[in-house]
Structure 1
């Protein structure tokens, strides 16, 4: 892995920092530096109109200092390795995702690591608005951490779309796969390639009597199988670790992840935002809700965050 600077988003509601634990594992393997980052905000401090601007700033700084002390103590407890030095940084900002992205851009971080929230006693995970914004707008990869362990010789999935002729998606396929292979080399893991393809639209079979859905499905399946063989061979992935299945990505990828007991799924996200994101969404966002393992979302080469514009 080429990650040299890791930005870990700290959850202020718990002592158990799974994102920090995951970042420390990566740092131990790669020698990367780690910064534990906490973004805080309390609107009540902005509403104290009886105080001057300086007095309000003093109050805010007191809160930041208090949380910095808490974070420093937390790091002292959880960072066991004497060879790892973890910096602590607390900022006051009313939009956590913006403060995280600005920090990543300004300080040159190349990976954001953030934990997700479990819904009560259920296994389902709640992805907060901060998660969505980071996946859509962060210019660097975002690792969303769940409870699944990262064992030695674990299974890593690269979610690809090998049947596409679109240049952007083809380039993203390469990036996703290279990233998965780098993680596999570092963690002594195994890469699995997963590709889904759509079935025959029902309305076509109904509206065109002479249309043969069976032949069409076979043709599409063969096209994706052939494309997968070529793609996998190029990247040195054995056939038994290639999965080509009919269905939607949000169904196929989690099913294969469960089948192989994956520890990590690497997926590309095009970073839609605004109306496009609201109406269409991103495949990555639909997929990760269904996964019980970590998700690494990567952007296409040349992606520019809207916060950089």
Structure 2
């Protein structure tokens, strides 16, 4: 089976302990029969580097750094290329802008990167999160210790369509795309596909703090209606997906449904953990026309809680606020 992706870019932020990252990128590229480019994207030296670093003999200038980086990547690529044909690229500047420019100019349809480990990165906005917000193609952030094969794949869907008509169509298309990405990964990895949707009738903290009065009997009735509504929406999506696949492929895929009542910012991650998830596919931008808008922070909070790989998918028609120029 040919995979979902055709042109993959694997982004390295440094030259340390990257073999596992590249091995995972090679595995994904092979599974999808896609072309693979490995990019070493480095921060430019600060404007005063020539003064600050005068006493260091191992570096002369930004040009020297770029030359050394290209030499290192070329040597590494000779080893990696023994497993699968790879191309290389080196950029020195602003990694976010450099990566997005490369994606747009080279028709990249998937970016792969190892998750950042620094607490300060998480606190002040890591490159990972900025790529989730602004990279025009799906972004696949892998674990620090990636698994050679996935066993459980989760598609996290937002089946709440109580929005203006134009936004509902965007959300439906985004759900379709998330489901297709997750199904492809599950099939190519011989993994179990799980579909997770978390719904919340009344925000738990508001009810708990007594800001509104809740009729428990009425609440139970409303919850049952919401559950039924979301189940119907999910069945529509699954019917569409099944119609696109051969009957035997659909039977093999056999997606498992998990419609959960709770606080989405907590329960998506909790359900993912309980399923021993290897990778979750989710939307990272919910609206068009708002550059970098990330699902009212629900996606961002969820991502920070996850211990598995993440594929972030944008809605159709999304344009990065970073231009190709």
TM-score, normalised to structure 1's length?
A: 0.82
What is the aligned counterpart of 1:38 among 32, 37, 40? 40
2:302 is the counterpart of 1:287 = yes
SS at match of 1:39: strand
Q: Which residue of 1 aligns with 2:31?
A: 29
2:118 is the counterpart of 1:116 = no
Q: Is the 8 A contact 1:18 1:145 kept in 2?
A: no
How far residue 45 of structure 1 moved from its aligned partner, in angstroms, is 6.2
Partners of 2:127 and 2:228 in 1: CA distance: 37
Deviations 1:11-65 (A, max 9, x none): 315133443222111111122111111122343566549xxxxxxxx94333211
What is the root-mean-square deviation in Å for CA atoms of aligned residues? 3.3
Q: Which residue of 1 aligns with 2:14?
A: 12
2:270 is the counterpart of 1:267 = no
Q: Is the 8 A contact 1:229 1:239 kept in 2?
A: no
SS at match of 1:303: coil
Q: Which residue of 1 aligns with 2:226?
A: 223
Partners of 1:276 and 1:141 in 2: CA distance: 16
Partners of 2:286 and 2:95 in 1: CA distance: 18
Q: Which residue of 2 aligns with 1:53?
A: none
Partners of 2:307 and 2:207 in 1: CA distance: 36
Q: Which residue of 1 aligns with 2:90?
A: 90
Partners of 1:291 and 1:114 in 2: CA distance: 16
Q: Cα gap change, 1:100/1:270 in structure 2, threshold over 3 Å: closer, same or farther?
A: same
What is the aligned counterpart of 2:270 among 255, 266, 272? 255
How far residue 69 of structure 1 moved from its aligned partner, in angstroms, is 1.0
Q: Which residue of 2 aligns with 1:73?
A: 75
Structure 2: segments with no counterpart, 5+ residues: 52-59, 243-249
SS at match of 1:109: coil
Partners of 1:28 and 1:208 in 2: CA distance: 54
Q: Is the 8 A contact 1:18 1:115 kept in 2?
A: no
Q: Is the 8 A contact 1:228 1:244 kept in 2?
A: yes
SS at match of 1:131: helix
TM-score, normalised to structure 2's length?
A: 0.78
Task: Output aligned runs, 1:288-307, within 5 Å.
Answer: 288-307=303-322
SS at match of 1:191: strand
Q: Is the 8 A contact 2:21 2:146 kept in 1?
A: no
Q: How many residues align?
A: 292
Q: Cα gap change, 1:10/1:86 in structure 2, threshold over 3 Å: closer, same or farther?
A: same
